[in-house]
Amino acid sequence: MRIPLKLISGLAQISLLVVLAVIIWQLLHSPTNIPPDVYPYLNTISPSLVKQCVQENQKSPHIAYEDLLAIHSTIPKNEAQMLIDQLQDNITMSDLNWGMLPADTIKAIGRHREILREYSYYHPNKYTFPVAGTTWYEDSYGADREGGARRHEGTDLFGKEGTSIISSCGGKIEQLGWNRLGGERVGVRGDDGNYYYYAHLQYISPKLVKGERIEAGEFIGGMGHTGDALTTPDHLHFGIELPNGEWTNPYPFLAVWHMWEREEKS
C-alpha cells in the first residue's frame, strides 16, 4: 500500500513540532545555573561586618556599599584600610593601587563585588525578618531528621504559639495549605526567583490566595507546630530553595535581617 505524500509530509511536520515543543519545554524548565561560589561566600559574611560596611557607606556615600563589603570580607583589616583610604580619596576600584596584594586576592575581591551587586540579601530594608515578635533560633541547617533519613533544610525560629509570621520578600504565592511534613505551610516564589518556605503554621491568613501576589512584611499566619512538628515546641521552619532546586542555609540571611529589624526599633 502506497502512503500518500501529503500524509507523509503532514506526519513529518507534526514530528518536527513535537521535537521543537520538547526542546522549548526543556529550556523553560531547566535548572537555573548558579555559580558554585555564590552562596558559600555569602554564608561567610557576619551581621557585624554588614553593619560596619553600611555605617562606612553612610559616612562616605560616594563609596559603594558593595565595594566596602567585598574588600572587608576578603582581606585583613590593615590591608583593607589601604584600599578604603584610596576610595575615600575618590579613586575608583579600577584605578586602585593594590600594593603587594596577590593577583588571586585582587580577583577574589572583584568576584565578591559582583556577587554582592547581584544578590542583595544584605542590603538594608530589602528583606524582612519573618517573625514579628519574640523569637530565638540557631544554625541547625543540615542537622539529622527522622533518625538521619534526611537533613534539615532550613532554620527553626521558636516562639509563642500564634506569633505573627510575615513574608520576607515580595513575590507570588505558589503553595498554600497542608502537607505531611510542613503541616500548614505557605510557599512564596520571591521576586528574586527563590522559593521561600514557611512551615508548621498554627493557621494561615484567610486573605492569602494561591497564585496571587504577596508583599514583604505582609501577614502570613501564626506560629505553630503542625505537620511533623506536632510534638515539638512551637516554631516556624523557614527555608530558601534556590531557582536550581537546591536548598541553601537561610541562617546567615536571617541573622542580618533580624539585625536590621532591631536597628529600626532602637
Top pLDDT among 14 and 245 is at 245
Say which residues have a Cβ less than 8 Å from residue 79's Cβ, sequence separation at least 6: 99, 101
Given pLDDT bands bounded at 50, 70 and 90, which one contains residue 38? very high
- Read off the pLDDT of residues 145-187 as tens digits, 9 standing for 90 and up: 655 556 778 999 999 999 999 999 999 999 999 999 999 999 9
Q: Does the pLDDT of residue 23 top 60, yes or no?
A: no
- The pLDDT assigned to 167 comes to 98
| Sequence letter at residue 168 | S
With 0-12 / 13-18 / 19 or more C-beta atoms within 10 angstroms meaning exposed / middle / buried, residue 114 is middle
User: 147's torsion region: left (phi>0), alpha (psi -120 to 50) or beta?
Assistant: left
| CATH code for the part of the protein at 131-265 | 2.70.70.10
pLDDT of residue 264: 81
- CA contacts within 13 A on the Cβ side of 157: 27
- pLDDT, residue 28, reads 45
Asked if pLDDT for residue 90 goes beyond 50, the answer is: yes
- Is 210 a residue whose pLDDT tops 50? yes
Which residues does 195 contact at the CB level (< 8 Å), separation at least 6?
174, 187, 188, 189, 240, 241, 242
Residue 27 confidence (pLDDT) above 80:
no
Q: Is 199 exposed, middle or buried (0-12, 13-18, 19+ CB in 10 A)?
A: buried
Question: Can you spell out the DSSP letters for 12-61?
Answer: HHHHHHHHHHHHHHHHHHSPP---TTHHHHHTT--HHHHHHHHHHHHHST
Q: Is the pLDDT of residue 102 over 90?
A: yes
Paired residues of 241 in beta bridges: 195, 247
Residue carrying the nine cell digits 529550556: 27
Specify which residues 189 forms β-bridges with: 172, 195
pLDDT of residue 248: 94
Query: Alpha carbon of 2 to those of 9, 13, 15, 100: distances in Å?
Result: 14, 19, 20, 81
pLDDT of 105 strictly over 90:
yes
pLDDT value for 125: 85
Range 69-73 average pLDDT: 97
Express as a percent the part of the chain with pLDDT over 70: 85
Q: Are 180 and 227 in contact (CB under 8 A)?
A: yes
Place of cell 527553626: 156
The ranges of the chain annotated as CATH 2.70.70.10 are 131-265
